[in-house]
Amino acid sequence: MSDNNKQKLIEVNHLKKYFPIKSSFLQKKNQYVKAVDDVTFYINKGETFGLVGESGCGKSTLGRTINRLYDATDGEIIFDGIDIAQLNSKELQPYRKRMQIIFQDPYSSLNPYMNVGEIIEEPLEIHTNLSKKERREKIGELLEKVGLNKQDMEKFPYEFSGGQRQRIGIARALSINPEFILCDEAISALDVSIQAQVINMLEDLQEEMGLTYLFVAHDLSMVRHISDRIGVMYLGRMVEISDSNELYQNPLHPYTKALLSAIPIPDPIKAQRASTESIQGELPSPLEIGRGCRFRSRCPFATAKCAEIDPEMKEVGSGHYVACHLYE
């Protein structure tokens, strides 16, 4: 590993999350959707780890399993030296405080019946011993930190625009000084001009408070912009992990290459020159995962070996990992 001097905040080892499919009583055997299937990676303290992939690849499930919103089927989630994967809800309480989430939809993630002050106060009530007055002060500070006014405390979510609501969500996440924040498509629902506001704010807060982010998104250009390292997922598996600049300049896995070349470039001349070859087919059903590499049905380089053996993650350059038979 290239960055031994950096401290790891989160280490995920062979993490699995299977969702059972409800079966009728005639069907004896339970079927599972293997949303996250044997994923291993780590996140350094103070960095932003980006997680990308098509919808249905398991990136949100992975994030939420790490935050223990879902119970892991198998594997380890080592948070600051302790495996939290199997802790019960009481044992988890101190860790909940250290991990927070910013959700995708700023419209449904805020309770419409609570005013902004109450929304932000809730985690403070649960996790701190602050008095009512101290909490109010803290809420005022938080609102100012995310670019809103103290007076906004009395307002209700419907009085705010999407970007402002996302700021309220961020203030709520920051209220108990977490170390780790999962940004689950945190900017996807916002307009481009507002996305930049929120991204810049997240970057400033990270610097100021030493936060660690797991940034889950499907907008690859934004992920590249904010992330230090990036993991690419396909059908429940991590297929490539690398430093973000390295990944975009030197993608190795055929899937990463296809994903990157599919991004439309906001520059007409470059866009005309770029290849118009697009990757064929779609993500296969997660119920029909057979032997071998999961990407082989869409991979232009697939060989007989790919149908037989599932490639393992290997380090091919400093800090650049890829799971593909082409690089063995």
Partner 1 sequence: MSDSLLTVKNLKTTFYDGKTRLEAIRGIDLSVQKGEILGIVGESGSGKSILMKSIMGIIPKTAKVDSGEVILNGQHIEKLSMKEKRAIRGKEIAMIFQDPMTALNPLKKVGDHLIELLVRVRGMKKPEAKKEAVEMLRRVGIPSPETRANQYPHEFSGGMRQRVLIAMALSCNPKLLIADEPTTALDVTIQAQILNLLKKLKSDNDMSVVLITHDLGVVASLCSRIVVMYAGMIMEEGTATEIFYSPKHPYTKALLSSIPRMDKAEKSRLTPIKGSAPSLNNLPKGCPFAERCELAMEKCFTDMPAYKNFSDTQRSMCFLAWEGEENNE
Check binding of 266 to partner 1 (CB under 8 A).
yes
C-alpha 219/C-alpha 155 separation (Å) is 32
Residues 55-94, mask of contacts with partner 1 (x by CB under 8 A): x---------------------------------------
- Please pick, from the candidates 11, 38, 54, 80, the single residue that binds partner 1 as defined by CB under 8 A: 54
Block residue for tokens 């992330």: 227
Q: Which is nearer to partner 1, 152 or 179 (CB)?
A: 152
Question: How far is the C-alpha of 295 from the C-alpha of 239, rounded, in Å?
Answer: 9
Q: Does the footprint of partner 1 cover residue 156 (CB under 8 A)?
A: no
**Interface with partner 1 (CB under 8 A), residue from 139, 205, 220, 239:** 220
CA distances from residue 58 to 39, 66, 103, 137 in whole angstroms, order as listed: 10, 12, 16, 39
Phi-psi category of residue 86: left, alpha or beta, with phi > 0 → left and psi -120 to 50 → alpha: alpha
Tell me which of 245, 250, 303, 318 binds partner 1, using CB under 8 A. 245
CA pair distance 119, 199, nearest whole angstrom: 22
Which of 81, 90, 193, 288 binds partner 1 (CB under 8 A)? It is 193
If one counts every other C-beta atom within 10 angstroms of the C-beta of residue 239, the result is 26
Nearest distance from C-beta of residue 300 to partner 1, angstroms: 13
Q: Is 208 in the site for partner 1 (CB under 8 A)?
A: no
Stretch that binds partner 1, among 29-37, 81-89, 107-115, 280-288 (CB under 8 A): 280-288
Contact region with partner 1 (CB under 8 A), list: 28-36, 113-121, 166-174, 263-271 = 263-271
SS3 (DSSP) at 8: strand
- Residue 132 and residue 92: Cα distance in Å, rounded? 25
Cα 121 from Cα 139, distance rounded (Å): 7
- Amino acid code (one letter) for 314: K
CB of 263 to partner 1, least distance (A): 6
Q: What are phi and psi of 316, to 5 degrees?
A: -110, -20
Task: Give 204's DSSP letter.
Answer: H
Confirm or reject binding of residue 192 to partner 1 (CB under 8 A): yes
Nearer to partner 1, 128 or 297 (CB): 297
- Residues lying near partner 1 in the complex (CB under 8 A) are found at 54-55, 161-164, 191-197, 199-200, 203, 218, 220-222, 224-225, 245, 248-249, 258-272, 274, 276, 278-280, 282-283
